Amino acid sequence: MDSASNAHPIGIIGNDEFGPAIAERIAACHVSALYAALPGSPAAIYSDHLQPVSPEARGSMSECPIVLVAIEDTETFRALLTGRSAAAPGFSLQSASVLVDLGARTPRELDALLELIQAHGVSLTDAALIGGPEAAVDGRAKVLLGGNDESAVEIAQSVVSLLGHVERTGPLGSAHAAAALMGYIEAAHAVAREEAMALGAACGLTPDMIARVLSERAPPHGMNVVQLARRADLARRIARDRNIGADIIDLAAEKQARANRENR
């Protein structure tokens, strides 16, 4: 951050473990920060550069030209924006401020929230931290960042870059959407691995052997799509033979069959 952007403190509001992690990292970079801990937030480690926002300090958050909000629940965030939240007494919308939403919202939800604050001259960007609170504290997180207003995105980037490497994803909502896709793939991998472990055990493979086989994430050299499909179909038949659930492979087979019917 340049000296101009550091003339006022950075505001952070949170109700989970990401809030204090973000606040402590920004303070560790010798940037003044104010943290409003909502119910559910772990305690932050305060310092000369990081101060709490409390009822006794009402209005202090209004000094912050940019506020990072780590609130996953949309209704809680909406209450904050509409002034119905008593949990963050120092927060108020002000002209020319930028909000960075670090929650988990659909593009439509973000558009609706943007409508609430545009009349106040407030810009909204969305960001997602990949790597967890620990990575943010160490400044090694991957930060996905989206937004419609280029100047607001640049301001947001100047701050969230303190948390790690920033990758711009596109318009408002794109950062949360990209993070959701990553979670979608990881969840599918986790379920597929669990099913594969059970299937391998049913076929007499030892846990060590299964682990070695499953550690090969890339297809064997020279194996084409047809071969992969045949192997997947074999796994499905083995699962049926052993009466073992294989939801992932069943779904893949059903989608492939549907695609084949539509292409005829």
Q: pLDDT, tens digit, for every residue of 206-217?
A: 999 988 888 865
Residue 113 makes CB contacts below 8 A (sequence gap 6+) with: 74, 77, 78, 81, 101, 105, 124
Which has the higher per-residue pLDDT, 166 or 253? 166
The closest alpha carbon to 117, from 73, 67, 52, belongs to 67
Q: Which range scores top for mean pLDDT: 82-96, 104-118, 205-219?
A: 104-118
| pTM score of the predicted model | 0.81
Distance between CA atoms of residues 50 and 34, nearest Å: 6
Distance between CA atoms of residues 137 and 207, nearest Å: 36
Q: Which amino acid is at 258?
A: R
Q: pLDDT, tens digit, for every residue of 39-81?
A: 999 999 999 999 998 655 544 677 889 999 999 999 999 988 8
Identify the structural domains of the chain with CATH numbers, from first to last.
Answer: 10-171 (3.40.50.720), 179-262 (no CATH)
**Where is average pLDDT lowest: 98-102, 165-169, 217-221, 226-230?**
217-221
